[in-house]
Amino acid sequence: MSKPALYYATLSPPSRAVLLTAKAIGLELELRPINLLKGEHLTPEFLKLNPQHTIPTLIDGDANIIDSHAICAYLIEKYGKAHESLYPKDLVKRANVDARLHLDSGHLFARLRFLYEPVLYYGSTDCSVDKIAYVQKCYEILEGFLKDQTYLCGNELTIADFCCVATVTSVNDVAPIDEFKFPKVHAWLKALSELPYYKATNEEGAEELKALFKTKLAENRSK
């Protein structure tokens, strides 16, 4: 049986969320890197796989899945039956996980993209206080969810944690997290950083993206 194939980039927080999920359940993927800065996600070949031209994209037999949150859920359902707590069967618990996944896609990642994309792709020099504050408002939401629990959906790790942490750790240099205002967010980040697969799977790519953003911003401002 062939491995599921993942089109991904280590720079991409959504890609790293899927990689964290695969590591958590011990699933080996066939990794197919895509260079976003060279526009490899816009080639005719890739557009046939994914007209939305986003990564990650998962190919598993006849299945073609194009959203990181959907991919994470799919991997647990198909390959992670021994790890069901990552995406619970219980209707209420699953609804809470889904809600946090939407928090990532609708707020966290959307605001990271609003800040990063113009600089990385279009030569923008805008890294304004307002854009940074817009990202930091999400930390208030996370702090609220984490008030009485270790993880975003309770005291058990879920795919929502993987998706949200991949985004937060990709922007927390530009939009710092005040440890006095958001102690629970700091504790959550520490708990996730202690996972044995976390550093190689998420931290290195997050640091790479943050460094690239700073470099591109400086280049754009020097022109």
In the chain, domain spans: 5-82, 86-222
Q: Quickly state the pLDDT bin for 163 (edges 50, 70, 90).
A: very high
36 close to 62: Cβ distance less than 8 angstroms = no
* Rounded-to-integer distance, Cα 132 and Cα 187, Å: 22
Q: Quickly state the pLDDT bin for 126 (edges 50, 70, 90).
A: very high
Q: Give mean pLDDT, residues 171-198.
A: 98
Strand pairing class (5-8; 30-33) = parallel
Is a pLDDT exceeding 70 seen at residue 37? Answer: yes
Is a pLDDT exceeding 80 seen at residue 1? Answer: no
* Rounded-to-integer distance, Cα 188 and Cα 205, Å: 19
Q: What is the pLDDT of residue 223?
A: 86
Which architecture, in CATH terms, is 5-82?
A: 3-Layer(aba) Sandwich (3.40)
Q: Give mean pLDDT, residues 160-166.
A: 98
Q: Give mean pLDDT, residues 111-132.
A: 96
The whole-angstrom distance between residue 8's C-alpha and the CA centroid of its chain comes to: 12
* Segment 73-88, tens digit of pLDDT: 999 999 998 999 999 9
Q: Do the two domains 5-82 and 86-222 of this chain adopt the same fold?
A: no
Is a pLDDT exceeding 70 seen at residue 153? Answer: yes
Q: Quickly state the pLDDT bin for 167 (edges 50, 70, 90).
A: very high
Q: What is the pLDDT of residue 52?
A: 94
Q: What is the pLDDT of residue 122?
A: 95
pLDDT above 70 as % of the chain: 100
Is a pLDDT exceeding 80 seen at residue 30? Answer: yes
Instruction: Label residues 167-181 b or e (16+ Cβ within 10 Å = b).
Output: bbbbbbebbebeeee
* Segment 207-219, tens digit of pLDDT: 999 999 999 999 9
Choosing from 2, 12, 15, 68, which is the catalytic residue?
A: 12
Q: Give mean pLDDT, residues 18-30.
A: 98
In a 10 Å sphere around its CB, with 0-12 CB exposed, 13-18 middle and 19+ buried, how is residue 138 labelled?
A: buried
Q: Give mean pLDDT, residues 23-27.
A: 98
Q: What is the CATH number of domain 86-222?
A: 1.20.1050.10
Name the residue among 195, 98, 181 with its Cα closest to residue 136.
181
pLDDT above 90 as % of the chain: 98
Average pLDDT score over the chain: 97
* Rounded-to-integer distance, Cα 92 and Cα 83, Å: 18
Q: In what order do the strands lie in the sheet with 63-65?
A: 30-33, 5-8, 57-60, 63-65
Q: Does the annotation count 85 as an active-site position? A: no
